[in-house]
């Protein structure tokens, strides 16, 4: 049962939802690609405590992009043997587009991992300072 809960928390982060309550959004708006909210407006957990914590999400994003690009290159080379120039243009473009589009989801996944390891929790005086309680 605990494994299902952990998987659910990881899924919430991947879907850009607060891993603590599942109601708050990690990013506000569809076009806000790179700036994550500081805290959840519902349960007031702080998503990242220190600058540089986003490096975990960036690492997930880059590693997954490289695995997919290099793996995709070898699979398409073995299956269809397209010209090298086509392969390079396609997989470099895929790599760049994937990194931009998956960035928020990788950050969300990292916030969930931080939550599962005890790094995401409310500030002690969060409700006194925010004034944005949406309950």
Identify the residue among 11, 21, 64, 126 touching Zn ion (CB under 5 A). Answer: 21
Strands (E) in the chain, as ranges, are 45-46, 121-122
- With DSSP H G I counted as helix, E B as strand and the rest as coil, what are the percentages for the chain, rounded to 5? 55, 5, 40
CB atoms within 10 A of CB 77: 12
* Contact flag: residue 111 with Zn ion (CB under 5 A): no
Identify the residue among 9, 12, 20, 98 touching Zn ion (CB under 5 A). Answer: 20
Smallest gap from Cβ 122 to Zn ion, in A, equals 9
Identify which range of 15-23, 56-64, 92-100, 113-121 contacts Zn ion by CB under 5 A: 15-23
Q: Where are the alpha helices (DSSP H) in 1-135?
A: 2-14, 55-80, 84-116, 126-130
* Contact flag: residue 13 with Zn ion (CB under 5 A): no
Identify which range of 4-12, 33-41, 99-107, 111-119 contacts Zn ion by CB under 5 A: 33-41
């Amino acid at each position: 049962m605990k494994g299902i809960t952990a998987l659910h928390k990881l899924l919430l982060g991947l879907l850009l939802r607060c891993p603590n309550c599942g109601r708050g959004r990690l990013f506000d708006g569809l076009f806000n690609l790179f700036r994550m909210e500081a805290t959840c407006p519902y349960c007031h957990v702080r998503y990242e405590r220190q600058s540089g914590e986003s490096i975990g999400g960036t690492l997930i994003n880059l590693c997954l992009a490289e695995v997919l690009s290099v793996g995709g290159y070898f699979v398409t080379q073995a299956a269809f043997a397209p010209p090298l120039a086509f392969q390079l243009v396609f997989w470099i473009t895929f790599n760049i587009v994937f990194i931009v589009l998956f960035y928020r989801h990788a950050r969300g996944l990292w916030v969930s991992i931080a939550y599962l390891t005890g790094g995401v929790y409310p500030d002690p005086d969060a409700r006194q300072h925010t004034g944005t309680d949406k309950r």
